[in-house]
């Protein structure tokens, strides 16, 4: 099970109030909320981080390449 804690990204400032701020991604996770509340931001962030994790496991990139400032 994947967990994600989001603060100060797009329209999301304080993050999730319950569950110590973490969103649990299980088999199916639904995001319901007002327009402009950050639902798509969370989905895109989770997708990108999942891709990045898989790329690191496959050794497509090194951790140093990703974390290097001002490449």
Give yes or no for a contact between 38 and 69, defined as CB atoms under 8 angstroms apart: no
What is the pLDDT confidence band of residue 66, given thresholds at 50, 70 and 90? confident
Give the whole-angstrom CA distance, residue 5 versus residue 21. Answer: 6
**What average pLDDT does range 44-71 have in this prediction?**
86
End-to-end alpha-carbon separation of the chain, Å? 32
Phi and psi based region of residue 63 (left: phi greater than 0; alpha: psi -120 to 50; beta: remaining): alpha
Question: Per residue in 20-30, pLDDT tens?
Answer: 888 888 888 88
Task: Provide the total of helices (H) and of strands (E) in the chain, helices listed first.
Answer: 2, 2
What is residue 71's predicted lDDT score, i.e. its pLDDT?
60
Q: In the chain, where are the structural domains located?
A: 2-67
């Amino acid at each position: 099970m994947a967990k994600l804690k989001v603060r100060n990204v797009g329209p999301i400032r304080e993050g999730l109030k319950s569950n110590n701020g973490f969103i649990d991604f299980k088999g199916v996770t639904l995001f319901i909320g007002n327009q402009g509340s950050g639902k798509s931001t969370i989905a895109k962030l989770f997708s990108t981080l999942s891709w990045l994790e898989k790329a690191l496991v496959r050794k497509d990139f090194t951790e140093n390449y990703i974390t290097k400032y001002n490449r």
